[in-house]
Structure 1
Amino acid sequence: MTGQVRTSTYARSVFGPREPVLDAVLRDALLGRGLRPMQVDDNAGRVLQLLTTLHRPQRVLEIGTFFGFSTIHIARGLPEGGHLVSLEIDAKVAETARQNLAAALVADKVDIVVGPAADYLQALAPLSLDMVFIDAEKTAYPEYLKLTYPALAVGGLLVADDTLPQGDFSAEGDTAAVRSAISAYTRAVARSDHLFSAFIGTDNGLLVSRKQ
């Protein structure tokens, strides 16, 4: 019996080589700057771009910019007039993300806000967002859900990365605490009468929910 092939590996074999600008972004971040490989995988990036293209949100919030790999994909899917605000706590890595967004020609569609995510989220107006993507501190996922749900418009999309229990959370520190938080998030979303949700089979699992 052969071993299971990772979704991203199979996707690369089907879709072919990564486009040059994205390849350069990854090489610079992971090899040039020595950042940890915590970005979404290639297929997850494509899914985010596809979701954004299909949903056509005007107001998008991303929690966790990192070096901007997922940010680029979301921005590419935005409709005319659409805008993305991305939250990042690390000023240095946020500057790297800004450079990458410029290289990918989507900088005009994105504002990166540096600081604790909770500070920004607490000030959100009700029903002010069409789409939210969560890919930041895993132990804070339940808090992010609590703070973003009221701001999500009816029909809006809530997308969270790293939602499969078999994910590699070693870089997050307390693995037990991370798994507990992820479980709390997924169960809350799955059992809500006001969200319709489904998993998408990326390497670490995207959980996509639509506000009813």
Structure 2
Amino acid sequence: MKSSYTDNNYGELIEALVRVYQPQTCVELGCLEGYSSVHIARGLKRNGFGTLAIIDLFEDYAFNSSEQTVLQKNLAQYEVEAYCEIIKGSAFDEANRFANQSVDFLHADISNDGERLQQIFNVWSAKLSAGAVILLEGGSKERDTIEWMTRFKKKPIREFYETPAFKDHFEHFVFDPFPSITICKKRA
């Protein structure tokens, strides 16, 4: 499966977090071909409970995207489709499907930059349960300076982490190996 996470085997980390935190309701914003989706769902399957809602624009996204059928094939190949609901739509519009304080685990990988993360947190923070775990693609200095971030003058992710709106409500840790991944935990 195509994913920037494969080089550093972040899938194993993602699956382990699902096993440790035992979430009931998981949401993934952006999935490409489903590498992280498969690992979240494998964790749920091993836990014996939980669901994953996968929200993506699929082929309607103009940049790095994949067809929904590729995700479906990958979920079936790993025998985890029973734990997943696929929702074709915007990460921002589809938040209304979820009650406040109902999401225990959120993974966001939708061309993340500082401004995009601010938008995600504005929309999704109320949906997160106390102590919810949030995984974000990116967060390292190297990731903040990749070609498209500099060419389009995107706000660095690390700047978002310094805002009071984030610092006052979330703890975080960044795994630096490219593309990097940030683990956040909502303060209870």
SS in 1 for 2:182: strand
In 2, Cα distance between the equivalents of 1:190 and 1:162? 19
* Residue pairs, 1:1-212, within 5 angstroms: 26=1, 38-41=3-6, 42-78=8-44, 79-91=47-59, 93-139=67-113, 140-167=116-143, 169-170=146-147, 174-177=151-154, 180-188=155-163, 192-212=167-187
Task: Decide whether aligned partners of structure 1 residues 101 and 173 sit closer, same or farther in structure 2, where only a CA change above 3 A counts.
Answer: farther
Tell me how large the CA RMSD over aligned residues is.
2.2
Task: Decide whether aligned partners of structure 1 residues 103 and 162 sit closer, same or farther in structure 2, where only a CA change above 3 A counts.
Answer: same
TM-score normalized by the length of structure 2: 0.83
SS in 1 for 2:92: helix
Q: Which residue of structure 2 aligns with residue 20 of structure 1?
A: none
Q: Contact between 1:199 and 1:206, CA under 8 Å: does it hold in 2?
A: yes
SS in 2 for 1:176: coil
Q: Which amino acid aligns with 2:54?
A: S
Task: Decide whether aligned partners of structure 1 residues 40 and 188 sit closer, same or farther in structure 2, where only a CA change above 3 A counts.
Answer: farther
Deviations 1:18-46 (A, max 9, x none): xxxxxxxx3xx5xxxxxxxx442242111
Which of structure 1's runs of 4+ aligned residues deviate more than 3 A?
A: 168-175, 188-191
Task: Decide whether aligned partners of structure 1 residues 196 and 204 sit closer, same or farther in structure 2, where only a CA change above 3 A counts.
Answer: same
Deviations 1:74-111 (A, max 9, x none): 11111222110011102562221111110111111111
In 1, Cα distance between the equivalents of 2:153 and 2:92? 23
Deviations 1:53-94 (A, max 9, x none): 111101000110110011111111112221100111025622
Deviations 1:138-193 (A, max 9, x none): 2422211111111110011011012212126435684421xx15234322389522
User: Computing the radius of gyration over CA atoms, which structure comes out larger, 1 or 2?
Assistant: 1
In 2, Cα distance between the equivalents of 1:107 and 1:158? 22
In the TM superposition, residue 116 of structure 1 has moved relative to its aligned partner by 1.4
Q: Which residue of structure 2 aligns with residue 33 of structure 1?
A: none
TM-score normalized by the length of structure 1: 0.74
Q: Which amino acid aligns with 1:115?
A: G
Task: Decide whether aligned partners of structure 1 residues 99 and 171 sit closer, same or farther in structure 2, where only a CA change above 3 A counts.
Answer: farther
Deviations 1:100-134 (A, max 9, x none): 11011111111111111111024432101001011
Q: Where do 5+ consecutive residues of structure 1 fail to align?
A: 1-25, 30-37
Q: Percent identity?
A: 21
Task: Decide whether aligned partners of structure 1 residues 123 and 108 sit closer, same or farther in structure 2, where only a CA change above 3 A counts.
Answer: closer
